Amino acid sequence: MSGESKRQAARERIAAKRAAEAAAAAAAARRRRVVLGGVAAAVVLVVVLIVVVVVQTGRTSTSADAAAPGNTTGNGYVFAVGSADAPVTLDLYEDFQCPNCKSLEDRAGSTIEELVADGTVQVHYHGMAFLDTDANDDYSTRALNAAAVVADEAGADAYEEFHDLLFANQPDEGGSGLTDDQLVDYATQAGATGTDVAVDIRNLVYGEWVEKAEDQASKDGVTGTPTVFVDGDQLASDQLTADGIAAAVQAAQG
């Protein structure tokens, strides 16, 4: 091999080495960029997370001095009907727009009222409002607000009366809901005749209380309507009949 070709080979080796070093440096620089970019993105994500959580927490905290109806029992979201000495408590969670609640009322309402009348059961009515739509003009909320107005004005027994009227005259789901005028009429029939009743129904005076009632139901572990508890034990859906409820009350007395 000539001296010239040796030098040529050496030059090529040096060039190859330099190219490899350059490639390694470029790869290292790229890794650095990726790591820096990843860290920056992670920091931005954490900051946005914290800001959003704080903002949304602020949006969901309701004011403590929101108007609440009178004649409630317990935590302020319960309307109790029947003797406080009754041996069995029946908790009933319903939405006035819920068709399955209406069918429960149609099937078992009179049985529940008999159990209340003979002193066996105290019913705790818990209103819920999660079936608001644009089409029904937030009927669930308007109906529960109206029911709270009735209770505040005329007591828990009037609440039950109004509750029965609203389920008997429940508007179609997907329809337009009852009007405020109709709610005022039913409130009058249920015995809430004060001068403020119509105003309070139209002005959603307990609107914020309705939202809090909805939150309370969610905290109570209620995830659907109708939900019925007999002395704290939730009934299965196949027990939601007149006979099923009567049997569960009987067993609770046992």
Partner 1 sequence: MTGAGPWLATAARALLGVVFVVAGALKVPDPAAAVRAVRAYQLVPEPLVGPLAFGLPVVEIAVGLALLAGVFLRTAAVAAAVLLAVFIAAISSAWARGLQIDCGCFGGGGQVDAGRTAYPAEVARDGALLLVALALARRPASRLALGGHPHDQIQHAETEHADVR
Q: Please report, as ranges, the residues that interact with partner 1 according to CB under 8 A.
A: 30-31, 34-35, 37-38, 41, 45, 48-49, 52-53, 56-57, 59-60, 98-100, 128, 130, 211, 214-215, 217-219, 221-226, 237
In terms of CB distance, is 131 or 154 closer to partner 1?
131
Q: How far is the CB of 36 from partner 1 (least distance, A)?
A: 11
Nearest to 116 by CA among 70, 167, 161, 75: 161
Distance CA 173, CA 176 (A): 8
Nearest to 240 by CA among 116, 114, 103: 103
CA angle 129–132–134, rounded 5-degree value = 165
Q: How far is the CB of 35 from partner 1 (least distance, A)?
A: 6
Count Cβ atoms below 10 Å from residue 42 Cβ, excluding itself: 10
Distance CA 21, CA 27 (A): 10
In terms of CB distance, is 180 or 208 closer to partner 1?
208
In terms of CB distance, is 111 or 237 closer to partner 1?
237
Q: How far is the CB of 100 from partner 1 (least distance, A)?
A: 5
Q: How far is the CB of 107 from partner 1 (least distance, A)?
A: 13
Q: How far is the CB of 157 from partner 1 (least distance, A)?
A: 27
In terms of CB distance, is 111 or 133 closer to partner 1?
133
In terms of CB distance, is 9 or 45 closer to partner 1?
45
Which strands, in side-by-side order, build the sheet including 233-234? 79-81, 121-128, 88-95, 227-230, 233-234
Q: How far is the CB of 61 from partner 1 (least distance, A)?
A: 10
Distance CA 187, CA 214 (A): 22
Do the bridges between strand 88-95 and strand 233-234 make them parallel or antiparallel, or are there none, so unpaired?
Answer: unpaired
In terms of CB distance, is 48 or 117 closer to partner 1?
48
